Structure 1
């Protein structure tokens, strides 16, 4: 759903107007993320600006914008050889795991996906980033559509009224297993996944869910990861708890048909959300929410099968 771009520090940092234009073209809500390539990419951009003689006032703005650009830059543990130049590194990595495009200062780079900063406009096929897309409802396709935003995120909330660990209730564990496996392979930092679903008479109470959860989640959670399950009910006369979302602290998506895997021929519409809107939606499932009411205790499961009610 989101695309990863390699952006040469010199291509974005040496000119204030170019920096200001390009940095606004990226973000989890824009469909484009900048690869943290190398892993001190932000410092390289600042150094490029200093080397180019960018004024102190504009330098301060560059530093501040990079500091608050968490939702724009993604680290997927790419390999970088500091003994060679940035372009050669980018071309090599592109051959191993393709970027959507490589933004660089050299027009002669031997790569069809290489873009100059002036090429970075929405009508360019390699820079165009649709904010909605139909995704095949297979576990891996759903996981792939969510992976980049999950990598950037520090906090993840899955909202699906019908989410259920029990296989007879739908294949919700397949996409979750695939996503967490891809996350663990891409980042050394474990994550907490919070899942919010709607209360129903057919659901087991929290103590029974806690008893069954270790067996139902066996093999799903990588080491260090944990899953938190929250049950909610609607407030009379208030908001319907119907829509499905994948929400994070850096943005989110609305998922039309839900996050359960189905037949490969079926699709679900994934639509990127404005960052502010995503945070408003997350607040509906916060401890002090007045939009929905939490039911009973939440259940926390870790990778070792330990369970806690809280």
Structure 2
């Protein structure tokens, strides 16, 4: 399971009449809220028609459901997906079919439905009733950490939802150096892969102002700029975006900070040719993510140097 997972929900999950009581509906929605607002995305099925179903004021949407939808919108966690079946859904059963077809086009972590809608899909592991989520393997396997190989393939798989949907990407690693191809050349490939984004994210790179090995931590800005600029320029032009680069005198830990998730990465963004070498990524709590981001906010403290590489 990825540290940021994408789910589809049938509209009935938000409907009071799908439950035995309003209280039961509220309890299930509260449990969903805690997960979706910290580690999840919700697929806006059928090019946005899914979210429009909640404009129907004749249906008794639970107040907690309305609040959850509002927060998901505010945090930009509702993400568009193309229509996947020929006809527009009219019922929860239809929406479940749309979700499954969308899953076939691009895999979801899971499809969450009401009890009645989930029954016909009892043998389909990807579908779970909201009341039985704890027994769904893909829900139970959620974890704040992820063990993965130090390879581009594993990084791309683990970061796929982040790179596809995050509106800001802040790469923090004191050793980023694209001239060291065995370590950081693959980071440039991740950046170049953003070319598929129609709306480009804000991209920042934060690294140390010193350069080279040894214990000499004196700033060497010119050397760092010379090492970073050619490869970042190529990646930025390929992706059609700009990259803001910040150099700091004091930087130690390594992170990926985005508007959707923060990740602590012990080895940073370096990859290796060594077989079977692994690392463990950890999802940060929201407060910790925000604290790290504030620590690299140039409006709060000045970096040693900053420059922008424009690819457009």
Name the residue aligned to 2:11: 9
Of 237, 241, 244, the match for 1:225: 241
Give the Cα separation in 2 of the matches to 1:81 and 1:92.
Answer: 7
CA offset at residue 218 of structure 1?
1.8
Name the residue aligned to 2:92: none
Name the residue aligned to 2:186: 174
CA offset at residue 220 of structure 1?
5.4
Give the Cα separation in 2 of the matches to 1:189 and 1:135.
Answer: 29
Q: TM-score, normalised by structure 1?
A: 0.79
Equivalent positions of 1:102-181 (< 5 A) are 102-105=111-114, 106=117, 107-109=119-121, 111-121=124-134, 124-128=136-140, 129-167=142-180, 170-178=182-190, 180-181=192-193
Matched positions, count: 283
Give the Cα separation in 2 of the matches to 1:212 and 1:95.
Answer: 40
Name the residue aligned to 1:195: 205
Residues 79 and 165, structure 2, Cα contact 8 Å, conserved in 1: yes
In the TM superposition, what whole-angstrom CA distance separates every residue of 1:114-169 from its partner, at most 9, and x where no partner exists? 11111223x5312121110112111131122123234342222111011112236x
* Structure-2 change in CA distance of 1:164 and 1:208 (3 Å): closer
When you count helix as a share of all residues, which structure comes out higher? 2
| SS at 2:252 equivalent | coil
* Structure-2 change in CA distance of 1:210 and 1:3 (3 Å): same
Runs (4+) of structure 1 exceeding 6 A deviation are none
* Structure-2 change in CA distance of 1:76 and 1:54 (3 Å): closer
CA RMSD of aligned residues (A): 2.8
Name the residue aligned to 1:65: 68
Name the residue aligned to 1:97: 106
Of 299, 303, 306, the match for 2:307: 299
Give the Cα separation in 1 of the matches to 2:70 and 2:206.
Answer: 31
In the TM superposition, what whole-angstrom CA distance separates every residue of 1:174-193 from its partner, at most 9, and x where no partner exists? 13413541x443x4111221
Give the Cα separation in 1 of the matches to 2:58 and 2:133.
Answer: 23
CA offset at residue 111 of structure 1?
2.4
CA offset at residue 285 of structure 1?
0.7
Identify unmatched segments of 5+ residues in structure 1: 235-240, 305-310
